[in-house]
Amino acid sequence: MDPPETLTSSTDDNNNNLRRRRGGGGGGVGGGGTELDSSSVEASSSSDDVTSDVRNDESKVDRKEENEEKKETTPLKYVYRASAPAHRRNKESPLSSAAIFNQSHAGLLNLCIVVLIAVNSRLIIENLMKYGLLIGSGFWRSSTSVRDWPLLMCCLSLPIFPLAAFLVEKLAQKNYMTEYVVVTLHIIITTASILYPVLVILRCDAAFLSGVTLMMFACIVWMKLVSYAHTNYDMRQLARSADEGENYAINYSYDVNIKSLAYFMVAPTLCYQLSYPRSASIRKGWLARQLIKLVIFTGLMGFIIEQYINPIVRSSQHPLKGDLLYGIERVLKLSVPNLYVWLCMFYCLFHIWLNILAEILRFGDREFYKDWWNAKTIDEYWRLWNMPVHKWMVRHIYFPCLRNGLPKGVAVLISFFISAVFHELCIAVPCRLFKFWAFLGIMFQIPLAILTNFLQNKFKSSNLGNMTFWCFFCIVGQPMCVLLYYHDVMNRNGSSS
């Protein structure tokens, strides 16, 4: 920065030049009468701007240097004397409502992290002192693995249904069957793809985890088949309208080939289309690191389940029976390890596994989730946390309901109903127990969404809505479902024995 003397001299030069232009000191203005040249006027205005800017800079520099000189030259005996005022203007407390959001709270966040680490360290030590190390080799190699063979064979035979759907679409493309027959055959194929695993699980005495895995695969196959049939149906309708002269400006390509279907069935998406955005190459080093993280977090989930969740659940009672305070204590005690397992499951499935699959297949669109942890309402959470299912619901359930004249509320109710049915299938079938707790839990999200929307609109506070979401969804809801299903299964096994 220039010193004040330089700024002052440059200011004086600019002022003198400006006075000469305005006073007619030059030959152009003084000898030309009363008319001013436009370039002279523009130069004058620009000089005014430069002058004002320079003066402002000069005053700032002068004030800064004056303050520095005062600090340097003020004798110590005049600094903070008893007669000097200690209060000079109105100020708010840092935690008051007017000033709390105008400053950083990084220190408090660090304190929360330190307290969280300390509390969880104490819980780990207490658990190890009480139960010892509970996890063993049985977690990695189940003793019921022989009885899981029928489920494995069922899982390996699921590709029969996409192949049947492809044959139906190929015949429909060549106009060998009517549209009514095509739709009927797709309904039969999709229904069989979900009933077949259900019957296998109910007939075989397999482990719960194996049953959940098979049901999740079956639900994914069902949703992919629905998208495949619905998308091809829509493309046929658009192709016919283009042949009849409607929408001629748009090119609707309709093609049925086994290669696009095979890629779709293994791709990390539930919405069928003929082509997808693709990445340039496969990053082998990155892929290896993700596989290592997948093993680590899977082991962490197993450790938390075996070391913390199982002892708490086994020592609990039915949450809807017995002492109310004891039930609340069990639910709250279970909520912390259950939340950790749920977060690890989300990270393993939606971040690590889907990205591994996308990397191997060079699948480009990897928005598998959004910032659901910042959700202010329940319905916002459901729109953010599982993007493949959300896109499928919007594409094949919600908007088709609206296009058929159904109200928006009815379309939302149908979407939640379908989600509730599949949540119930994924939990109740492996448990061989239909109490509809998972179904009711998902349907209960509708009044919760109304409540959180009301609180958000009334108080205009994102923090209140976010805390309400975390409380209902993770602190109360999931631990309650775990206890309900566990005790109902135990009661069923006890009565049968």
**What amino acid positions are annotated as catalytic residues?**
423
Angle ∠(411,412,417) on CA atoms, nearest 5? 100
> Using an 8 Å Cβ cutoff, are 418 and 461 in contact?
no
Q: What are phi and psi of 381, to 5 degrees?
A: -60, -45
Quote the tokens at residue 77. Answer: 């005996």
> Using an 8 Å Cβ cutoff, are 315 and 329 in contact?
no
Distance of CA 488 to the CA centre of its chain: 32
SS (H, E, C) 438-469: HHHHHHCHHHHHHHHHHHHHHHCCHHHHHHHH
Closest CA to 135 of 311, 356, 341: 311
Rounded to whole angstroms, how far apart are CA atoms 271 and 229?
11
Alpha helices of 79-207 — where are they, by DSSP H?
106-131, 149-156, 160-173, 179-203
The number of C-alpha atoms within 13 Å of 239 and in the hemisphere containing its C-beta is 11
Residue appearing with tokens 């009301």: 454
Contacts of range 33-38, beta carbons closer than 8 Å, 24 or more positions apart: none
For the beta carbon of residue 109, count every other beta carbon within 10 angstroms. Answer: 10
Contacts of range 251-254, beta carbons closer than 8 Å, 24 or more positions apart: 254/173
